[in-house]
Chain A
Amino acid sequence: MKSALPVAVVLLAIIAVWYVAAALMNAPLQRDAYANAGRVDYSARELIVDSLNMERPKLPGPHQVVAELYRSVALTAPSSKRSLLYHGLITLEETLIGFAIGAALGIGLAILIVSMRWLERSAMPWIVASQTVPIIALAPMIVVILNQFDITGVAPKAVIAAYLSFFPITVGMVKGFRSPDPLQLDLMRTYSATRLQTFLKLRAPASAPFFFASMKIGAAAAVVGAIVAELTKSEDGGLGARLLEGSYYGQTVQIWAALFVGAALSAALVGLIGRIARATEQRMGLVP
Chain B
Amino acid sequence: MTDRRLTDLMPPLAFGFAVLAIWELGVRLLHVPAIILPPPSAIAARFATSIPTLAADFWQTIKGALIGYAIGCAAGVAVAVLVDRSGFLKRGLLPLGNFASALPIVGIAPIMVMWFGFDWPSKAAVVVVMTFFPMLVNTVAGLGSAGAMERDLMKTYGADYWQTLLALRLPSALPFIFNALKINTTLAMIGAIVAEDFGTPIVGMGFRISAEVGHLGIDMVWATILVAALTGSLFYALVAGVERQATFWHASYRAKEAT
Residues of A within 8 A of B (CB): 2-3, 5-11, 58, 118, 121-126, 129, 131-134, 136-138, 140-141, 143-145, 148, 216, 220, 223-224, 227-228, 231-232, 239-240, 243-244, 246-247, 250, 252, 255-256, 258-259, 262-263, 266-267, 270
Contacts and interface: CB of A to CB of B under 8 A. Distances in A.
B28 interface: no
A258 B107 CA distance: 9
B137 to A, nearest CB: 14
Contacts of A125: 12
A133 B115 contact: no
Chain A contact surface mostly: helix
A224 B104 CA distance: 5
Contacts of A132: 185-186, 232-233, 235-237
Given A138-B225, A145-B36, A262-B107, A7 B92 contact: yes
B233 A134 contact: no
B36 A122 contact: no
Interface in B179-194: 185-186, 189-190, 193-194
28 contacts: A6-B89, A7-B92, A8-B92, A10-B92, A10-B96, A123-B12, A123-B15, A132-B236, A133-B229, A133-B233, A134-B190, A134-B229, A136-B194, A137-B193, A137-B209, A138-B225, A220-B102, A220-B103, A228-B106, A231-B194, A243-B109, A244-B198, A246-B110, A252-B111, A256-B111, A259-B108, A263-B103, A270-B102
B13 to A, nearest CB: 9
Contacts of B213: 140-141, 143-144, 232
Nearest to B99: A267
A247 B113 contact: yes
A126, A148, A227, A247: most-surrounded residue (chain B CB, <10 A): A247
Contacts of B205: 137
A-B residue pairs, 3 tightest by C-beta: A6-B92, A247-B110, A122-B15
B64 to A, nearest CB: 13
Nearest to B222: A141
